[in-house]
Copies of this chain bind each other. A is one copy, B any other.
Amino acid sequence: MAEDRVTQAVAVARELLEADGPDAVSMRAIADRMGMRAPSLYKHVPDKATLEVHLIAAALAELGQALRTDRGDLTSLAGAYRAWATAHPHLYTLATAQPLPRDRLPEGLEDEAAAPLLAACGGDQDRARAAWAGAHGLVSLELADRFPPDADLDAAWGAFVAAFSG
């Protein structure tokens, strides 16, 4: 019951975030959509940071799931990573831009999300981390419009995959 209201708050926060970006996610906006005033929200949720932790957890879980659904080679993993991130740009950014609140996240979530890529790298942690960084870098630079407007991002992803396949 009480649980219900916090999951509802998380869902509303996610809608606002995905639709209109991080600035649209205010406690007042969330409360409005739940039919109450902002201070009442604090009867269910301790603070905004907690909502964000839930969003981060959801993002990591979904991204991990997206990486688990395909063939498992680096090419398809890269495609799945990019596809999920660009489908949820604000959520992806929220989930990766700040330090991980590890102590407030479900146990093992981080490892689960990382597992597919680690497997594709034959268990080589260092290589997996470098590959993850490459994918994250490409995605976050793309989401932040950092590449020149005429840049061929497909080709850049191709070069990335090629580098890690050789």
Interface, chain A (partner B; CB < 8 A) = 96-100, 110, 124-127, 129-138, 140-141, 144-148, 151-153, 155-160, 163-164, 166
Please, which residues of chain B bring their CB within 8 A of the CB of A148? Answer: 110
What's the nearest-Cβ distance from chain B to residue A131, in Å?
Answer: 8
Q: Are B130 and A134 in contact (CB under 8 A)?
A: yes
Question: What separation, in Å, do the CA atoms of A157 and B137 have in the docked complex?
Answer: 14
Please, which residues of chain B bring their CB within 8 A of the CB of A132? Answer: 137, 141
Please, which residues of chain B bring their CB within 8 A of the CB of A138? Answer: 129-130, 133, 137
Please, which residues of chain B bring their CB within 8 A of the CB of A135? Answer: 137
Enumerate the 7 nearest inter-chain pairs by beta-carbon distance, A residue then B residue, closest first.
Answer: A137-B137, A133-B137, A130-B160, A130-B159, A99-B145, A129-B156, A126-B155
What's the nearest-Cβ distance from chain B to residue A46, in Å?
Answer: 20
Copies of this protein in the complex? 2
Question: What separation, in Å, do the CA atoms of A109 and B145 have in the docked complex?
Answer: 16
Closest to A121 in B: B159
Known: A100-B145, A163-B164, A166-B163. A152 touches B136 (CB 8 A): no
Known: A134-B134, A148-B110, A166-B166. A159 touches B129 (CB 8 A): yes
